[in-house]
Each structure stands twice: as C-alpha cells, then as structure tokens.
C-alpha cells in the first residue's frame, strides 16, 4: 500500500448500542508502521500550528474530538484544505509537504500518528528553505 499524495482516509466504525470503536492499524489502515503518537488539544481558532515540513516522517492526523482544518502545500504551487471533523476520518500526509493546522474548535483533540520517532533535525521550519529543497529535489 503506497499513498502518493495527501488524502482523506475513512476508518471503519465498529459501532453498536454501546458506542463506537475505531481501529487504526499500521500497514493496514494506514501505509506505515506507527512509531510515535502525539496529540494536540487546548488550541483555539486564533492558533496556527504545524508550519513545517518533515524530511522523513509521514503522518495521519485524526480529530478524535472537535475539529480543525489542515492546509497542505507541496511547494510547487498546489495547496488543499482538509476539514477534520469526524473521529473515524483522518488525513494522510506524506513526507515533504508543508502543513498548517488552524481553526481549532475549543474541544479539538487532534491525534497524530507518525512513521518515525521524534527528531527535531528532520523538521523544516522555514518556508523559504522548504521551497529551495523542493526545487533541488526536482532537479
């Protein structure tokens, strides 16, 4: 399973009268082994998070509560905005895309599944530097 671009994923809801249970398994429901999870909450609509690209890490983001928007850019002029507002949907983000998360609802809990352990040196946090790297990749 290889996903090329950013895309929405829908996970099965194992729902019954007791509620819902959503399962996300590495290499099955998402195209990588999960090495790290983190989650973001307590942000509100005035906050913009992310604002970086990752050289190696792929992510799946799921708003397990509340909602936020994710703007994804590829450094070549393409951008898309995804609304995460259901606990059984997520967005897949390949490496080397620029992402902004914003418009967080007060109850937003954004679960992030990552393909790599944390390594600050693989984060690109300057947009100009990101554009240069994309340009070099294309040569």
Contacts with ligand TYD by CB under 6 A lie at 36, 38, 40, 49-50, 52, 118
Residue-wise burial string across 88-100, b where 16 or more C-beta atoms lie within 10 A, e elsewhere: bbbbbbbebbbbb
Sign for the CA dihedral angle at 74, 75, 76, 79 comes to positive
Q: Which one, 126 or 135, has the nearer CB to ligand TYD? A: 126
Distance CA 29, CA 12 (A): 9
CA angle 72, 112, 122 (to 5 degrees): 70
Supply the minimum distance, in Å, between the C-beta of residue 29 and ligand TYD: 21
Q: Catalytic residue positions?
A: 52
Q: Which one, 40 or 93, has the nearer CB to ligand TYD? A: 40
Query: Which residue, judged by CB position, is nearest to ligand TYD in the bound state?
Result: 49
Supply the minimum distance, in Å, between the C-beta of residue 18 and ligand TYD: 33
Strand partners, 9: 90
Supply the minimum distance, in Å, between the C-beta of residue 101 and ligand TYD: 7
Q: Which one, 12 or 38, has the nearer CB to ligand TYD? A: 38
């Amino acid at each position: 399973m290889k996903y090329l671009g950013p895309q929405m994923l829908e996970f099965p809801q194992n729902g019954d009268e007791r509620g819902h249970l959503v399962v996300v398994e590495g290499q099955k429901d998402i195209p990588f082994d999960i090495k790290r999870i983190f989650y973001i909450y307590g942000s509100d609509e005035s906050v913009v998070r992310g604002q970086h690209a990752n050289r190696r890490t792929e992510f799946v983001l799921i708003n397990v509560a509340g909602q936020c928007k994710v703007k994804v850019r590829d450094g070549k002029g393409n951008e898309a905005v995804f609304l995460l507002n259901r606990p059984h949907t997520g967005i897949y983000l390949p490496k080397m895309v620029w992402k902004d998360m914003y418009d967080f609802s007060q109850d937003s809990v954004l679960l992030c599944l990552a393909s790599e352990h944390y390594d600050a040196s693989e984060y690109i946090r300057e947009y100009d530097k990101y554009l240069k790297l994309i340009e070099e990749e294309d040569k």
